[in-house]
């Protein structure tokens, strides 16, 4: 039944913008990062604007925030906010990356927000050993994914750092001047062997937090949907925001869609751990058939003892991507009571994923004609 020996019940985990390791304890992470839990009360407030709760909020996949209540109050008082999110083009896009983008699209639709979408090609060149040529190919492929999400063309602008640097540079200098190496070291864990490009990079990821205020000519609130690994950047940006006359950016943080194979998150650099939007459908089926589950070693033990959805990647994918909350609860009950075998869940995931990806791939094809319309330019 369980076709992997992945279980890791140790307490160790680490989350940085470049590394997610171990079995993440999200409640502990909130304390460690100093963020706020998204409470039921806050969700109710959210719902009063949106009329419904997006499943990623209902499932608490988005679980933490900074100043989400503040930004909703601003909205209530007729101060509209920008959305800001991004992608580091280290490879192809996987299902995990899509999760914050799904919520971003929902927020754009519900709050009629402008969106800045930053692509940090510089970051991915500096971190790791890919050539700029390879990164440029990824940038193009990743842009197709971003457009395929269905963002509103007239309200979305994609910024590619190396291409649009002249629009970013002066604000990045304002930020950089106010951050000491000692602060950057303690937030990001830089060491003497970190290349100085990486040490100088964080202000650039901070710039789109402030760009809306510059574009609009008045202080403009910004909400950043992302997984919680990106939070260190916002800690840094929030520290200096008011010193240079801007609002602190607000955030809404998600958990990680887990790896298919081991504890930790899906990773672009290890193809077996993730389902990519560019994977052939038969490759997806094969990956899912080899996925880690929370099942028992044999069918008879599964029927007797039940499985453990809490550590099952297949269950997580179904829960966060395809099942409604009611379907997911039902699946969990059947699994725990031994009435559901891993094969059935894998089949469900396989058929949902392949039909989702085949539709998504058609949208990626259509996106090829739209790239220039989504790119940032000052005269928007």
Residues forming the site for ligand TYM (CB under 6 A): 17, 84-88, 96-97, 99-100, 118, 120, 123, 205, 224, 226-227, 229-230, 254, 256-257, 265-266
Beta pairing, strands 115-119 & 156-160 = parallel
Give min distance, CB of 225 to ligand TYM, in A.
Answer: 7
* Cβ nearer to ligand TYM, comparing 87 with 331: 87
Shortest separation between residue 339's beta carbon and ligand TYM, angstroms: 30
- Least CB distance from residue 317 to ligand TYM, whole Å? 11
Residue whose C-beta lies closest to ligand TYM: 88
Residue 168 beta carbon to ligand TYM: minimum distance, rounded to whole angstroms? 11
DSSP annotation of 248:
P
From the CB of 292, what's the least distance to ligand TYM, in Å? 14
- In the complex, least distance from residue 281 CB atom to ligand TYM, rounded to whole angstroms: 21
Q: Closer to ligand TYM by CB, 100 or 212: give it.
A: 100
Residue 300 CB, nearest approach to ligand TYM (Å): 34
Nearer to ligand TYM, 71 or 226 (CB): 226
| CB burial of residue 133 (10 Å; 0-12, 13-18, 19+) | exposed
Q: How far is CA 40 from CA 58, 63, 66, 326, 379, in A?
A: 9, 10, 15, 18, 41
| Contact criterion met (CB below 8 Å) for 190 and 198 | yes
The token duo for 187 is 């937030």
Between residues 211 and 345, which has the closer beta carbon with respect to ligand TYM? Answer: 211
Burial of 129 (0-12, 13-18, 19+ CB in 10 A): exposed
d(CA 127, CA 190): 12
Task: Say how far apart CA 260 and CA 265 lie, in whole Å.
Answer: 9
Nearer to ligand TYM, 189 or 343 (CB): 189
Would you say 266 or 335 has its CB closer to ligand TYM? 266
Give the number of other CB atoms < 10 A from CB of residue 35.
21
H-type alpha helices, 86-201: 95-111, 121-126, 132-148, 165-177, 181-188, 196-200
Nearer of residues 296 and 328 to ligand TYM, judged by Cβ:
328
Residue 184: C-alpha distances to residues 2, 76, 168, 178, 249 (Å): 43, 35, 20, 11, 18
Angle 234-238-244 from CA coordinates, rounded to 5°: 130
Helix axis angle, 40-50 to 95-111, nearest 10°:
60
CB of 146 to ligand TYM, least distance (A): 10
**Cβ 103 to ligand TYM, closest distance in Å?**
10
Please identify, using beta-carbon distances, which residue of 148 and 224 lies nearer to ligand TYM. Answer: 224
In this complex, which beta carbon is closest to ligand TYM, that of residue 108 or of residue 296? 108
């Amino acid at each position: 039944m369980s076709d992997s020996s992945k279980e890791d019940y140790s307490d160790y985990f680490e989350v940085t913008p470049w590394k997610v390791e171990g079995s993440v304890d999200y409640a502990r992470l909130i304390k460690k990062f100093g963020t706020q839990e998204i409470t039921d009360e806050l969700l109710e407030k959210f719902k009063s604007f949106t009329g419904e709760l997006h499943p990623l909020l209902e499932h608490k996949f988005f679980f933490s925030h900074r100043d989400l209540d503040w930004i909703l109050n601003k909205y209530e008082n007729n101060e509209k906010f920008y959305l800001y999110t991004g992608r580091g083009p280290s490879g192809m896009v996987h299902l995990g990356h899509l999760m914050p983008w799904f919520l971003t699209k929902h927020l754009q639709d519900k709050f009629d927000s402008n969106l800045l979408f930053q692509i940090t090609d510089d970051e991915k060149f500096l971190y790791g050993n890919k050539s700029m040529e390879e990164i440029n190919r990824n940038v193009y492929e990743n842009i197709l994914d971003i457009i395929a999400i269905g963002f509103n063309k007239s309200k979305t602008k994609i910024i590619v750092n190396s291409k649009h640097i002249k629009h970013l540079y002066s604000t990045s200098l304002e930020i950089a001047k106010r951050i000491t190496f000692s602060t950057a070291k303690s937030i990001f864990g830089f060491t003497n062997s970190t290349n100085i490009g990486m040490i100088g990079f964080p202000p650039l990821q901070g710039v789109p937090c402030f760009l809306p205020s510059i574009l609009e000519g008045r202080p403009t609130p910004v909400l950043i949907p992302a997984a919680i690994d990106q939070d260190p950047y916002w800690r840094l940006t929030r520290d200096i925001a008011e010193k240079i006359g801007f609002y602190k950016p607000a955030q809404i943080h998600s958990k990680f869609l887990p790896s298919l194979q081991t504890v930790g998150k899906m990773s672009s650099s290890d193809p077996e751990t993730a389902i990519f939007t560019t994977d052939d459908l038969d490759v997806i089926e094969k990956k899912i058939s080899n996925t880690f589950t929370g099942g028992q070693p044999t069918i008879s033990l599964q029927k007797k003892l039940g499985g453990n959805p809490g550590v099952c990647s297949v269950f997580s994918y179904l829960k966060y991507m395809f099942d409604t909350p009611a379907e997911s609860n039902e699946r969990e009950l059947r699994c725990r009571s031994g009435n559901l075998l891993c094969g059935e869940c894998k089949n469900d995931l396989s058929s949902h994923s392949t039909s989702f990806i085949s539709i998504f791939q058609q949208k990626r094809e259509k996106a090829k004609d739209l790239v220039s319309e989504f790119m940032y330019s000052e005269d928007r």
